[in-house]
């Protein structure tokens, strides 16, 4: 009886430590400064490589297309960021999706704090997977934390 209870306790502890479950993989890394910034009919387009990630499936060439609406409230400015399209492409496939977030600063502290959330869906070898992540930072590189999991999660 004690063996069963101990086995159950160990199993529960192991499951609790898995975070997002067996099908979920934690991903961390850095978003470097974009290599190019252009404007086109879609909005502002940022392009560059992502090279420093804990999971090779999300390393590759990235393109962000976004619009920002600024609101000034006294000394504080907030940019509401809508990422209408983001793609990460590598030999294994492509991740495609959208994102949203903010960039904020004040006249007293002009450093822009960026905080963005993304949801991308995989194609090619990544078909059936979803990459959700949060990007935050002031100066590049910005910190990326997220998960890769089945798209139905």
pLDDT digits (tens, 9 = 90+) for 1-17: 444 333 333 333 333 33
81 three-state secondary structure: strand
Q: Is 101 within 8 Å of 77 (Cβ atoms)? A: no
Strand, coil or helix: 3: helix
The CA-CA-CA angle for residues 98, 100, 102, to 5°, reads: 155
- C-beta separation of 15 from 24 below 8 A: no
Rounded to an integer, what is the distance from CA 137 to the centroid of its chain?
12
Read off the pTM.
Answer: 0.83
Q: What is the pLDDT of residue 45?
A: 97
Q: How many CA atoms lie within 13 A of 74 on its CB side?
A: 1
Taking residue 99's Cβ as centre, other Cβ atoms within 10 Å add up to: 21
Query: Sorting pLDDT into bands at 50, 70 and 90, what band is 22?
Result: low
């Amino acid at each position: 009886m004690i063996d069963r209870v101990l086995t159950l306790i160990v199993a529960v502890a192991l499951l609790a430590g898995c975070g997002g479950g067996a099908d979920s993989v934690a991903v961390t890394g850095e978003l470097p400064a974009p290599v190019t910034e252009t404007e086109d009919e879609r909005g502002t387009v940022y392009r560059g490589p992502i090279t420093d990630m804990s999971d090779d499936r999300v390393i590759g060439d990235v393109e962000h297309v976004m619009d920002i609406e600024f609101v000034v409230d006294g000394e504080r400015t907030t940019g509401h960021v809508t990422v209408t399209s983001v793609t990460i492409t590598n030999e294994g496939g492509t991740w495609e999706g959208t994102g949203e977030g903010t960039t904020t600063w004040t006249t007293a502290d002009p450093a822009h704090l960026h905080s963005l959330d993304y949801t991308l869906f995989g194609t090619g070898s990544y078909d059936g997977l979803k990459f959700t992540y949060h990007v935050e930072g002031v100066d590049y590189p910005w910190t990326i934390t997220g998960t890769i999991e089945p798209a139905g999660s």
